[in-house]
Chain A
């Protein structure tokens, strides 16, 4: 805005230039009057601009710098000293907890998008309720009236989805898309029309789109708290039944559970939480409160009860922190709550201890390292074998020396990877580096190497005798699986094959070992 102002001033001064160039005396008085005219114009212009600025500032985020909150603002939010802030923060926290609880089940029932369509469909109801109430001479902005309207049109939206899906050959996603956009579009146009209506003061209705906690008072927070508590209790009572519904619909039906009724209960809870969330989060973003806490909780646990609790905690934290930030920085609450929830989701996705990205990455990395080590040790054993040493005394086997170049040409590893793995084995006490830079197995290393070679060969033999794999192709397929063989499986393989082949000790390789090293 200051930019516009500067340009305007520049233009004004530029148009003055020719006047200041020539100063014939007889024109001075005329000039003076023209200048004062200009000054008047400028001051008019300025006041217009500041008017515009005020209007814009009151409407949107444009032209506003975020100011770091003062100490008194911090105190107001952190210690909940301000009554209104207390109400808002506690209200949104309860909302978040309720949404997190209900959201766990909608996520598992794969009804997340249905909730989105439902929340978008509430908007025309808000508008209609306002129109009807004002026509009837009631207070159009009374919250219970507006929320009733929202609930009715939300349910009508869901009914429309089911209607479109069942009556036509359209799939559910198309039905969702159609209903969601039509209802939301209708709602937005209705609010616009209302604002142009002469009757009733409609200002503030648009806060149902993005949410505005500032207007929340104690009775609203009580409403949110009680409704949230109610939905949590319903979920708690029907925990078993809803779990069964989400996990195995067919079995639930065969046990005589009314599937439709259970679904209706779940969707009604979604309606309820959406409706109470309209004021704080707005109908566009309220879906985030259902989806993100539940999805985030999934990264932390494999237990549904824990998941529901974690989801409720994340939702509650999102509501609390989000509305606190909103109060501190004077930003709209809905987007703040969603942003906090999404940060928690992102953190869970990365560091979640059960299914987080990091944990899975570490597991994979450990497996790869393990595979490298097994390859190296088995390679060493096979080299020993090619030198004719395995049957010799352990002391002589241990003294046998390997050169790095020899190992490098033996396996399909890069020199960097081989070097790294040798270093790891050396630190683990499996390998020794001799003074001439050659390598030898330690006693432990030898034991490990022969065990690995044995298991590898057992598996190869099993594949050849039982799974009809040509011997030439065995090495690779054995490689793929043997790294995940568990001890009890090895024991079973041994039993199975010992009967067949009468193997004692370390099994011989069932195929010629290909890249033969120097048989020295």
Chain B
């Protein structure tokens, strides 16, 4: 029943719990995302924002819960999802060029064991033009500034031409020009009917950038249209009270486990 109802929804998360060594990182999370929306995921450090994105893509094991993307499990709708990981998650001294990184977004299309061909490189160059660093295509990634690194990652997701984008802090420590460029691309994507879920840190810009928000602190404090959900009261709930009781209980349990 649920899958029929959510078939048109880019993302539907139900009762999601993820745990590391039995310590819950996110707890009973549920929310829906409607098509064509820019959704900001907001919450304090350690609230489980990155884990949420990783759980959506089956990168971390779920303790419980169900996730549907366009009505199907991730495995079947993988081609419709583009991922922009955190910039710090990779070694930028790796011996590849900017173009190499962007073509990685096409590896799925190119297929196992097949070489990257000219049309793929052309598509990658186009994506780099779109994010405004077309002239850097042949540079080594070690020579990029922070903003250029972020644009490279964005281009790698764009080249996939997905319908749902998951972005892990694309605005973290980038220059103002890059931030503007990324916002412009998000708007462009939205006009093309695409959906983006973006982890965001800067609370000031949330109402300006996002149609709806998910306020996350281990569990979903509130989610929905930015206008009605992004309130002072909800933010206080998100950032003020870390779930102290839950924290303490799990901490006690882990301590006991360690002595076993």
Interface residues on B, range: 20 to 34
> In the complex, A324 Cα to B114 Cα: how many Å?
38
Contacting pair A304 B57 (CB below 8 A): no
Kindly report which residue of chain A lies nearest to residue B78, judged by CB atoms. A256
User: Interface digits, B91-103 against A, CB 8 Å rule (1 contact, 0 not)?
Assistant: 1001111001100
* In the assembled complex, A463 has its CB within 8 A of some CB on chain B: no
Contact of A253 (CB < 8 Å), options: B57, B90, B110: B57
* In the assembled complex, A244 has its CB within 8 A of some CB on chain B: yes
Q: B127 CB to closest chain A CB, in angstroms?
A: 15
Q: Which residues of B contact A238 (CB under 8 A)?
A: 112-113
* In the assembled complex, A301 has its CB within 8 A of some CB on chain B: yes
Contacting pair A251 B83 (CB below 8 A): yes
* Number of chain A residues close to chain B: CB under 8 A: 24
A240-B110, A240-B116, A250-B59 as given contacts; A298 in contact with B75, CB under 8 Å: no
Contacting pair A246 B94 (CB below 8 A): yes
69-108 of chain B: CB within 8 A of chain A: 75, 78, 81, 83, 85, 89-91, 94-97, 100-101, 104, 107-108
Contacting pair B95 A240 (CB below 8 A): no
8-31 of chain A: CB within 8 A of chain B: none
Q: Which residues of A contact B91 (CB under 8 A)?
A: 247
Where chain B touches its partner, the secondary structure class is mixed
* In the assembled complex, B226 has its CB within 8 A of some CB on chain A: no
Contacting pair A304 B96 (CB below 8 A): yes
Kindly report which residue of chain A lies nearest to residue B81, judged by CB atoms. A254
Contacting pair B96 A250 (CB below 8 A): no
A248-B90, A248-B104, A256-B108 as given contacts; A302 in contact with B142, CB under 8 Å: yes
User: Interface digits, A239-272 against B, CB 8 Å rule (1 contact, 0 not)?
Assistant: 0110110111011011111000000000000000
A247-B101, A248-B104, A301-B95 as given contacts; A241 in contact with B112, CB under 8 Å: yes
Q: Which residues of A contact B90 (CB under 8 A)?
A: 247-248
* In the assembled complex, B54 has its CB within 8 A of some CB on chain A: yes
Q: Which residues of B contact A251 (CB under 8 A)?
A: 83, 85, 104, 156
Contacting pair A298 B95 (CB below 8 A): yes
214-253 of chain A: CB within 8 A of chain B: 237-238, 240-241, 243-244, 246-248, 250-251, 253
- Which of A238, A244, A248: most chain B Cβ within 10 A? A248
* In the assembled complex, A344 has its CB within 8 A of some CB on chain B: no
Contacting pair A247 B96 (CB below 8 A): yes
> In the complex, A302 Cα to B98 Cα: how many Å?
12
* In the assembled complex, A446 has its CB within 8 A of some CB on chain B: no
A238-B113, A240-B110, A241-B107 as given contacts; A247 in contact with B94, CB under 8 Å: yes
Kindly report which residue of chain B lies nearest to residue A240, judged by CB atoms. B107
* In the assembled complex, B140 has its CB within 8 A of some CB on chain A: yes
114-131 of chain B: CB within 8 A of chain A: 114-116
A247-B104, A250-B59, A255-B107 as given contacts; A303 in contact with B85, CB under 8 Å: no
Q: A15 CB to closest chain B CB, in angstroms?
A: 72
Q: Which residues of A contact B89 (CB under 8 A)?
A: 248, 250
Q: B16 CB to closest chain A CB, in angstroms?
A: 17
Kindly report which residue of chain A lies nearest to residue B84, judged by CB atoms. A251
* In the assembled complex, A358 has its CB within 8 A of some CB on chain B: no
Contacting pair A250 B54 (CB below 8 A): yes
> In the complex, A304 Cα to B116 Cα: how many Å?
14
156-192 of chain A: CB within 8 A of chain B: 169
Q: Which residues of A contact B81 (CB under 8 A)?
A: 254
Q: B155 CB to closest chain A CB, in angstroms?
A: 13
Q: Which residues of A contact B101 (CB under 8 A)?
A: 247
Q: A295 CB to closest chain B CB, in angstroms?
A: 12
291-309 of chain A: CB within 8 A of chain B: 298, 301-304, 307
* In the assembled complex, A407 has its CB within 8 A of some CB on chain B: no
Contacting pair A254 B57 (CB below 8 A): yes
* In the assembled complex, A425 has its CB within 8 A of some CB on chain B: no
Q: Which residues of A contact B107 (CB under 8 A)?
A: 240-241, 244, 255, 257
Q: Which residues of B contact A248 (CB under 8 A)?
A: 85, 89-90, 104
Q: B158 CB to closest chain A CB, in angstroms?
A: 14
> In the complex, A255 Cα to B83 Cα: how many Å?
9
What are 20 contact pairs spanning A and B, CB under 8 A? Answer: A108-B94, A169-B258, A238-B112, A238-B113, A240-B114, A241-B112, A243-B96, A243-B104, A247-B91, A248-B89, A250-B89, A251-B83, A251-B85, A254-B85, A255-B83, A256-B75, A302-B95, A303-B97, A304-B94, A304-B96
* Chain A interface residues (CB < 8 Å from chain B): 108, 169, 237-238, 240-241, 243-244, 246-248, 250-251, 253-257, 298, 301-304, 307
* Chain B interface residues (CB < 8 Å from chain A): 54, 57-59, 75, 78, 81, 83, 85, 89-91, 94-97, 100-101, 104, 107-108, 110, 112-116, 140, 142, 156, 258
State the 10 A-B residue pairs at the shortest beta-carbon distance, nearest first: A254-B83, A237-B113, A302-B140, A254-B57, A304-B95, A253-B59, A250-B85, A248-B90, A256-B78, A302-B95
Known contacts A244-B107, A304-B94; 10 further A-B pairs (Cβ under 8 A): A240-B113, A241-B107, A241-B112, A243-B96, A246-B94, A247-B104, A250-B83, A253-B59, A303-B95, A304-B96
